Amino acid sequence: MEKEFKQLDYNGYLEWNGKKQQYTPAALKIKNSLCDYYIIETEDGIYADLLVFKDENNLVNLHICNALKLEYDLTINLLKDKYGVVTFKQDNNVYGEELFNKIKDTYSLIDEHEEKINDKFSLNSITVDLTKTK
């Protein structure tokens, strides 16, 4: 089975993630068309998923989405074709900077900043134009 993204609506999100998720921020944003939800499905179920928060500068929070880590090229191509400018966010202290550096070294960087939550936790974000390579 060739891997490809399939976009799901609110009901599809609940079908795959369970009704217990119906009041989570992600589910409510999908329901209100503020977030797009994609999956890569295999014969064994969901292989990877991706949430794009359109109301937050096309934010992809790498804490809750694994598609970029599992299928980098496929995910980048989807994001480039559908959104162009995308913001990626994660805690580099927890997840490392390898993925961020790969994106920054390849695509046109628009913004980069760190949001310090406390002494142990901070969120790093980069906004890039995926249609422009270096």
For the chain, domain boundaries: 5-133
- Residue 100 · residue 91 · CB < 8 Å: no
> How far apart, in whole angstroms, are the C-alpha atoms of residue 34 and residue 85?
16
Between the two ends of the chain, the Cα-to-Cα distance in Å is: 33
Tell me the two tokens of residue 85: 């400018």
Confidence class for position 1, pLDDT limits 50, 70, 90: low
Q: Which of 40-44, 65-69, 72-76 has the highest mean pLDDT?
A: 72-76
Residue-wise pLDDT for 68-111, tens only, equals: 989 999 999 999 999 999 999 998 888 888 999 999 999 999 99
Strand 35-42: give its sheet, edge to edge: 5-8, 35-42, 45-53, 59-61, 85-90, 122-133, 107-116
pTM: 0.91
Considering only CA atoms, which of 96, 73, 89, 74 is closest in space to residue 128? 89
Q: Which superfamily, per CATH, for 5-133?
A: Gcn5-related N-acetyltransferase (GNAT) (3.40.630.30)
Tell me the two tokens of residue 82: 């559908």
**pLDDT value at 118 more than 90:** no
